[in-house]
Structures are given as structure tokens and as C-alpha cells.
Structure 1
Amino acid sequence: MKYVPLYALVLLVAVYSSSKALTKTDLPKDTIKAESKQLSTAYGPSHITRTIKQDRKGNIWIATFGGVYRYDGKSFTNVTSQVSSAHFFSVLEDRKGNFWFSTVGEGVYYYDGKSFQQFTTKEGLAHNVVTSIYEDKAGTIWFGTGGGASRYDGKSFRNYKMNEGLNLTPDERLLLKDNNDVNSIIEDKTGKFWFATRGHAYLYDGKTFTVLTHEGTPFINVRTIIEDKNGAIWLGGLYGLWRYDGSRFTNFTERGVAYVYEDKKGNIWTSSLTNWGWSLFRYDGETLSTKNPTVTEVELESDDTKTMLFGILEATDGRIWFGSGGAYRYDGKSITDFKKKEIN
């Protein structure tokens, strides 16, 4: 397989016709699950934590392998404790104020604050392992799954597979066997969509999927894609941290990156592999255009933060949350481990 740089606009592509690229399934009306009693505690979750988000009311939502927790500033409530024992991976508040929770094996749960509705492959979802949720400009909900991307318009699902139509050799297909595991989805300011997968990273213009490359080499196992306030695209994955400014890619680190996040000041935060495990890094936004941007490593105190770091969030008060073997908060000086300390 041959690849050329993205800016040359001569890339390996997979072209989809509307009938071949998409599958559509109408949803049944009987998937409502009633809300059960929820229990609250002063301590945070002690489970693997993959996503942390803040809702419009200021509550912090935490997706963990032990359920989805809501933190109101005083106590933690496991919202899903009586609904499912699945490993939860991602959480999204949509523009209507409703919530979506993704799981590893049980599809997606929709929560309107009173009751739950479950969506699985029976309803048209591409796969029951769902690792990311995204709402586009039109209000359509996208799901990154273990079998491609699913788009839900409120009535039915349309499913996309990244590697269908690619002219691959048997060896290349074996190498990219996880190519349809979609880790991250975004829509940029121009309306194009970017997909991070265990195989390659893709740009989708509504008709064609384009493989992203840097100096002729495709990205592999991209975990996160974001667009910063200036319109640049950031990718974090096996090959490190990269920025695409519309004409070329710039590499900021070759260490493996799992999560990428931009704060209000334009600083870029990453969770990255080091020689001793995982660490949290901040790239100073004012120096990102220089040859040697200022990078600060946040010293982590807990042993379980050495195993993994995900779910970075800047809350409205400016403090940084991140997930590991629980939920943590960084105020610029110290880190609060919520599963061990009372809330201050």
C-alpha cells in the first residue's frame, strides 16, 4: 500500500455510495428502562475512569468501569447502579440536556433525568462496544464503536466502516484488523469529520474517507482527535502528539499519547506514556508556535495513576480533572484523590 501526504490531496481513499456506506434501522418503542433508587457517597469512584465531563448546571459526570457517577460539588451519586453493571466508557450531555452513556458490551444508554433507554445492535447500533460519543453541529449523535461509527438522528442509525473499499493486501488487512475500532470523532469548523481508530486516522467529507498521513506514513492507533480554537487538528496516539494546521503535520512528542485536551487559555493537555508509567503534561499555548514550546509535567502522587490516564477536563472553576483508577482534580499545586479524601 502506498501513501502520500494529506496536503498533496492524493491519498488512499475509500469511496462510499449512499447505499453501500450506510445501513439504516428504525428503532422500536419499547426500550425504556425505569430509573431506580440512587445512592450517594462523599467519596469518589475507585474504578477505572475513562471520561469526565461537566454539564450545563456545573455537575461533574464520570464514566467508570463501575458505573456513571454525578458529582454535585458535595457528593458522588452512581446514576447507573441499579440499571447496569457494565463497564461504562463515555458520557455526553446533548444540546437538549439529556445524557448518553456508552458501555463495553451493552451498547448505549440514554438518560433524560428520569428514565433510561438502551440502544444496542438490535436497534441498529454498529457494535455493542462503544468507546466515544459526539454531537455534531446539526444535533446528530455519533458513536465510536468496535465495529465502525454509528450516527443517530433521533429516529434511526446509519453505520460507517472505515476499511471497506480500501485496496488492501491480505497482510495489510491483518495489520489493520482493528481498523474499525473508532476511538474518537469530531466535526471541524468546515463541516468535515475526523475519525481516530485503532487502525488509521481518517478525514470524511461526506462522501469519501481519506487516510491521514505524515510524510507518506499513515497514523496507527490514534486515540484522540480534537480541534483547537484556532482550527488546528490535534492527534494523539501510538506515534505521539501531532498538530495539523491545514498544510502540514508537526510532531510535539514521540511518546505514546492517549488523551488530548485544550483548556480555555489554549494550553494543550495530554496523558502520555513515560519510562515509569503514565503522566499528565501541559503544553503552553503561547509557545506552541515556537520550535521549543514550554512543556510542564504534572507530578502524580498516586500509584494507580501510573497505569493509565484518560478523561481530562477543565471545570468552570479552572481546575483540571482527569481519570485513572478513580477521579482526580488538579488545582495547579496539588492533586485531590477523591476516593481517599473527603471533599473540601
Structure 2
Amino acid sequence: MMKCIPGLLFIFIFCTSCGQNQTSVPKQNIRNHRTGLSESQLKEAAGSKVPVSMVRNVRQAKNGDILIASYIGVYRYDGTSFTNITSTIEWPTFWDVLEDRKGNLWLASQDSGVYRMPAGQTGFKHFTAKDGSGINSALHIYEDRSGNIWFGSSRYDGKSFRSFTTKDGFPSNSIRLLLEDKTGKLWFGAQGENMFVYDARLNGEIGQGKTFTVLKNKEGKAFNNVWSIIEDRKGNIWFGDNNGLWRYDGRTFTNVSRRGAYAIIEDKKGNIWTTGIVNAGGWALSRYDQKSLYDKNPTVTEIMSIKEGALLRILEANDGSIWFGAMNGVYRYDGNTITDFKSKEVQK
């Protein structure tokens, strides 16, 4: 069932640990996967033909395939079937996947650094802090306009890694995501800490003790524990913090909704989609209608809600369908029906 709801009060509580990593991939036996599954369940899940564990992120490859980062493997969906592309890697907890502009495939894990499959190859290179990358844990992958690949506050420039810390002027050592906007500003979200911005036009190359700006609302409060940041087609910055969904037009911060905004995307029609906590702790996939985005109470359509678990990152695929991760796999919404690939049930 779908229902239209005005903005609602929510409490956004969703905690994990965060940190930040060349060698051929060794066969590993990492058990710090935080999946809550027994070893036998892990083996069963790893052998599944579809993602059945927590899906943190969903992306699209250049050829249109859907890339799915789940706790127990990274999958590729070609429109017909799923393939676990990490079946030779044992038990890292995967959070993100990205195909960069050169066709390299990057994987981020919470407990075993990062992996790269070079374009045209089938094997992975493994990077950890011991290899000089500075990365033990990565929750987010981002490619900036210069082609640098970021994992939180660690940056790969095509040759080497560099990890930035408070010694380089960063306000936090717990960076988990970033966005480069159209003006070149870098927006950083930190685990349990304030969001901040770096303007290279004013400060030059990042690091070396340069100045970062912690932005604040009209009450003088900083935005804390930001999980998602996007820029819409008009140049507005949207993000979610402990107080809901926000929009920044370059001058004013507007609290659009008190509904949770763990993940945010803008679709091709200009609608804003979010996942997050609503009501008394349940999670929902919500769509904010583009025609009412600037109204005091924008129209919100709740596409799917659950009382237990969580709904996570969102993707609009090339065909306009909406993909989103959950605690137990991945879902697709085609505008009419929701497909749960794990149970193969279609919900009206």
C-alpha cells in the first residue's frame, strides 16, 4: 500500500563503526563480519544465487548491470540473474561498490580494507593499512571530478593512497562520506560528528592544515551524524542528519522534513527519494514530489515501510526503476510493484 503523508517527527538512530587500505588477494578467514550469522549460515548465504544478507549499497555499472554490495558478497545483476563476483574472497563485510571512469571496479569493506578489479581483468587487488593505504575499514567510495577515488578521508590518485587526518586540518578522523559539488566544494559527513566543507578555490590543495568550515543552521547548531549528501540539478545540497532531511540553497538551510534521511537520491523527474526511520522506529522508502518540494509541507509518498530492520542505500537505474538495499537483501520498485529478490514475492 502507498500513502501520502506530511513530514513526521522521527528519531534517527543508526550506529556502526568507521575507519579507513597492494597485494594479490590472499584467501582470508575473517570472522569480524558483524552479520549476526553463524558460520554455517554464512556459508549458506555465500552460496546463494541472490543477495540474502544486509545490502548497504546499490550502484550501476557502465554496461547497465546492477552492482550490489552485501555483507556476504558483492553481486552483479545483468537483468536476468545474479553473480557473486566475490566468491573467492572469504568474509569481509562489504559496504560499497563502484565502477570508476576507467572501468576499474572498487569494493569497500568494513573490516578488510578495499579491493580493486582492474578494467578488463577478473582478479582483485587487495589494499589494507599494512600495505600503506591507511585503510582498514571503508564505508563509502566516491570518485571526484579529477578522477581521484575516495574512501572516507583516504584518497587514491591513481598511483598511491593518502589518508588525511586532523593533523592535516580535518575536523574529524571519522569521515565516512563526501560529495564534490558543482562549484568544487567538498562536503564531508563524519561518524557521530559535524558535517564540514572544504573550498579548494579559497584554500588550494586539501590538507597541510588548511581551513575547513563547519556549517550551522540559523539557531547556530551544526549538522551532526550526516549519513547522506547529494546535489540536485538546481545546485541545492540535500543531506540527512539527526533532525531529518535538509536542503541548502547556498544561503539558507531548510529542514524539509523530520522523517529520517539515511539515504537520498534525486530521480530523473526531480523527485527526492529517501530511506530512513519514521513514526515509532519503523523504516520507510519515501518519495517527495518535485512539484511540492518547496512547500512548507511537501507531499510525501511512502512506497514501502517495515517495522523491523532497515532500508538502506537507493539507486535509480537507467530504466527508471528504484533499487534499494535492506537488512535481508535487495529490492526493486518499477513504479507499480516491489520485487523482493530473496523471497521472489511481488508486493502490490
- Corresponding position of 1:83: 89
Return 5+ residue gaps in structure 1 as ranges.
1-26, 167-175
Match of 2:229 in 1: 225
Counterpart of 1:287 (choices 277, 284, 292) is 292
- Count how many residue pairs are aligned between Structure 1 and Structure 2: 294
Listed as ranges, the matches of 1:167-316 within 5 Å are 179-198=172-191, 199-206=193-200, 207=203, 208-215=211-218, 216-274=220-278, 275-300=280-305, 306-316=308-318
Distance 1:332 1:310, change over 3 A: same
Q: Which residue of structure 2 lines up, in the alignment, with residue 336 of structure 1?
A: 339
SS in 2 for 1:261: strand
**Secondary structure of 1:184's aligned partner:** strand
CA shift in 2, pair 1:229/1:94, >3 Å: same
* CA–CA separation in structure 2 for the residues paired with 1:219 and 1:135: 24
- What TM-score comes out, normalization by structure 1 length? 0.80
Distance 1:164 1:153 in 2: 17
Tell me which protein shows more strand as a share of its residues.
1
Contact 1:42 1:75 in 2 (8 A): no
Alignment of 1:96-175 (within 5 A): 96-112=102-118, 113-144=121-152, 149-161=153-165
**Counterparts of 1:163 and 1:260 in 2: how far apart (Å)?**
31
Residues 221-262 of structure 1, C-alpha deviations (whole Å, 9 max, x = no match): 100111111111111122211011000100011233211111
- 1:273 aligns to what SS in structure 2? strand
Instruction: State the distance in 1 between where 2:127 and 2:47 align.
Output: 29
**1:260/1:270 contact within 8 Å kept:** yes
Q: Does 1:32 align with 2:38?
A: no
For the residues of structure 1 that align with 2:304 and 2:167, how far apart are their CA atoms?
40
Structure 1 segments (4+ residues) deviating >6 Å: 39-42
Q: Deviations over 1:253-309 (max 9, x none)?
A: 123321111111111111110224110111112221222321111134x66xx3111
AA of the residue aligned to 1:308:
A
Task: Give how far 1:58 is off.
Answer: 1.0
Question: Partners in 2 of 1:164 and 1:218 — Cα distance?
Answer: 21
Measured in 2, the distance between the counterparts of 1:262 and 1:180 equals 29
Q: Distance in 1 between matches of 2:75 and 2:248?
A: 35
In the TM superposition, what is the alpha-carbon distance from 1:322 to its structure 2 partner? 0.3
* Shift in CA distance, 162/272, structure 1 to aligned 2, threshold 3 Å: farther
Deviation at 1:196, TM superposition (A): 0.8
CA distance in 2, matches of 1:105, 1:272: 24
Tell me which moved more, 247-256 or 46-55.
Answer: 247-256
The reply to whether residue 327 of structure 1 matches residue 330 of structure 2 is yes
3-state SS of paired residue (2:184)? coil
Tell me if structure 2 keeps the 8 A contact 1:234–1:242.
yes
RMSD: 2.4
Contact preservation (8 Å) 1:40, 1:75: no
Number of the residue aligned with 1:171: none
Q: Provide the C-alpha distance between the structure 2 equivalents of 1:192 and 1:94, rounded to a whole number of angstroms.
A: 20
Partner of 1:170: none
In 2, Cα distance between equivalents of 1:188 and 1:252: 20
String of CA shifts for 1:110-164, please: whole Å, max 9, x gaps: 01241111111123333311000000111111111xxxx0111011122222587
Gaps of 5+ in 2: 1-20, 28-44, 204-210
Contact conserved, 2:46 with 2:73, CA < 8 A, in 1? no
